[in-house]
Amino acid sequence: MPSKIVNRCSAAIAAKGWNIAFTESATAGRMCSEFALTGESGKILRGGISCYEVFVKEQILKVPHKLIEDHTPESAEVTASLARQSARLFNSKVTVAVTGLTTTGGSETPEKPVGTMFLSIITPLGTIDDRTVFKGDPESIILQTIDRAAELIVKNIENKI
């Protein structure tokens, strides 16, 4: 069941007459699924792509290999590239891209620990880039990330960021 902020976000997007699309690495489609469960899903949801593996980022979404090599697959730079490519692909008003670390074995470092999540959100009102470190198990990190994205979109629509 979607959280209150996801429901509120969906309603705000619908009120604007906008649509939304998702490109998800670490959340692997869960964000799109949560928005699909809202009452406005039929009005707003364009779709989503899960790009967990680097191959998908490079071959399907055309993120340059050098960008991934220089910044890691879980980075603000790669996430922003995913958002730009996906906005073109989906022709969406709101495009959300997410990468990050929900478990060990990725590009974690002391400066970028497990729980670090990157969002890049493109809206008609501007682009929002966010890096937040969440605590908890993988599912908790994913759910917190989904709520963070919804919160940022609502604030953007209400012109508070």
User: In the beta sheet, which residues pair with residue 37?
Assistant: none
Question: What value does the mean pLDDT of the chain take?
Answer: 96
* Per-residue model confidence as pLDDT tens digits over 40-51: 999 999 999 999
pLDDT per residue as tens, the chain (161 positions): 999 999 999 999 999 999 999 999 999 999 999 999 999 999 999 999 999 999 999 999 999 999 999 999 999 999 999 999 999 999 999 999 999 999 998 899 999 999 999 999 999 999 999 999 999 999 999 999 999 999 999 999 998 65
Q: CA-CA distance, 60 to 85, in Å (whole number)?
A: 10
pTM value is: 0.96
Tell me the domain boundaries of the chain.
4-157
CB proximity list for 134: less than 8 A, separation 6 or greater: 115, 117, 140, 141, 144, 145, 148
Q: What is the CATH number of domain 4-157?
A: 3.90.950.20
